Copies of this chain bind each other. A is one copy, B any other.
C-alpha cells in the first residue's frame, strides 16, 4: 500500500505518519511506500524497510502532483491548506491553496485513472455558520461566514462530485477544533483553544481572546488520527450520497477548559491565562457551531473522546 500525504510537515500529517509507520499497515494492507509532501521538505520518518519519499512541492502550482499521482497511490491524505485567519486576510491565497489545489489534485486523480484511490481531505467546523439550529446534524446546510470555510465547502462539493462520477474514491472529514495541539500559537483563529492550556501547562503565559462562555466542538489529536486511519478503512459503498460529514467531537466551554486547567495544572497554571478580547477572533470562532448530533460518523464507526480531562492528561503524559 502506497500512501501520499500533502501538508505532511504539519502537525496532523506528522502525527499520522508516526501512527502509520508504527502500525505498518492501513485498512488491512501492509505499507510499502510513503510519499510525504509539503511546502518545505517534511522530516523523513524512521521507517525501517518502508520506501519513504519526502518532497518539497508547491501544490498550488498546476500539475505539481503529477509525478506522484502517476505512481498510482492507494490512499491520499490531503491536509495542505491555508488556515482560517490567513485565508480571511488573503482571499487569493486561500482560493489558490484551499480550493484550486484541491481541484488540481482531483484532476490529477482523473488523469491517472485513480478511480479506486481513497482521497481523504480534512475539512472543518469552520464550514458551518449563519443562523444555525441549537444542535446540528448531517443535513445542516453549510453557510460559512469566513473564506476558509467557503473554500473547504466548495472543495467538499467537488470531491463528492468526482467520487459520484467514479473518478476517485473520496471522503471528507470535517474536523472539530483540535485540542491540545503541540507547538506554538499560529494564524488559525482557533489557535487560542490549545494555547490557553498548552502554554500554562509548560509554565508560560497565554492570552485568551474570547469570552469564557464561548463553546467549542473539540477532538484530541489522538482521536483525530484514529479517525483519519478509520477513514481509509470505511468502504466507499457505506459512504452514501454525500461523502463529507462532521467527526464526533465533544462540546466544551472555555470556562470548562480553564477549570480543567486549574484541576490538572493548579492555580498557578490558571493564573497564566490573561483575557484580552479580540473581536475578530471572537467573530470567527463564535460563528462555528459547538453541538452536533453525529449520526453518520458514529454509524460508520468513528469515535469521539470520552472526557475533556483525559485530553489534558494525555497531553501531560506525552509532554512529560
- Which B residues are CB-close (under 8 A) to A153? 157
Considering only residues 123-140 of chain A, those with a C-beta below 8 Å from chain B are: 129-133, 138-140
Q: Is A242 an interface residue (CB 8 A)?
A: yes
Q: Is A160 an interface residue (CB 8 A)?
A: yes
Partner of A160 from the list B91, B139, B150, B165 (CB cut-off 8 Å) is B150
Q: Is A291 an interface residue (CB 8 A)?
A: no
Partner of A141 from the list B130, B142, B147 (CB cut-off 8 Å) is B142
Interface readout for A105-145 with B: 1 if CB under 8 Å, 0 if not? 00000000000000000000000011111000011111111
Q: What's the number of copies of this chain in the assembled complex?
A: 2
Considering only residues 231-261 of chain A, those with a C-beta below 8 Å from chain B are: 240-242
Partner of A165 from the list B130, B147, B165 (CB cut-off 8 Å) is B147
Q: Is A50 an interface residue (CB 8 A)?
A: no
Q: Is A12 an interface residue (CB 8 A)?
A: no
Q: Do residues A241 and B165 form an inter-chain contact, with CB atoms below 8 A?
A: no
**Which residue on chain B has the smallest CB distance to residue A296?**
B131
Which residues in A have some Cβ–Cβ distance to B below 8 Å? 91, 129-133, 138-145, 147, 150, 153-154, 157-158, 160-161, 164-165, 240-242
Give 7 pairs: A residue, B residue, CB < 8 Å, sorted on A.
Answer: A91-B165, A130-B240, A131-B241, A131-B242, A143-B160, A143-B242, A147-B165
